[in-house]
Amino acid sequence: MKDLVLVLTLLPVLAVLLAHTLLALGVSREAARLRTAQIPLYALTTSAWVLVVFLTGIIGLLVFWLIHHSALRDPGLVRR
Residues 12-36 have pLDDT tens digits of: 999 999 999 999 999 999 999 999 9
Count of positions (residues) in the chain? 80
Under the banding of pLDDT at 50, 70 and 90, the label for residue 80 is very low
Q: How far apart are CA 49 and CA 27, in angstroms?
A: 7
- 46-76 pLDDT, tens digit per residue, is 999 999 999 999 999 999 999 998 877 666 6
Q: How far apart are CA 58 and CA 26, in angstroms?
A: 12
- pTM listed for this prediction: 0.82
Q: Where are the chain's structural domains? A: 2-68
Q: Count of CB atoms within 10 A of residue 50's CB?
A: 21
On the CB side of 14, CA atoms within 13 Å amount to 6
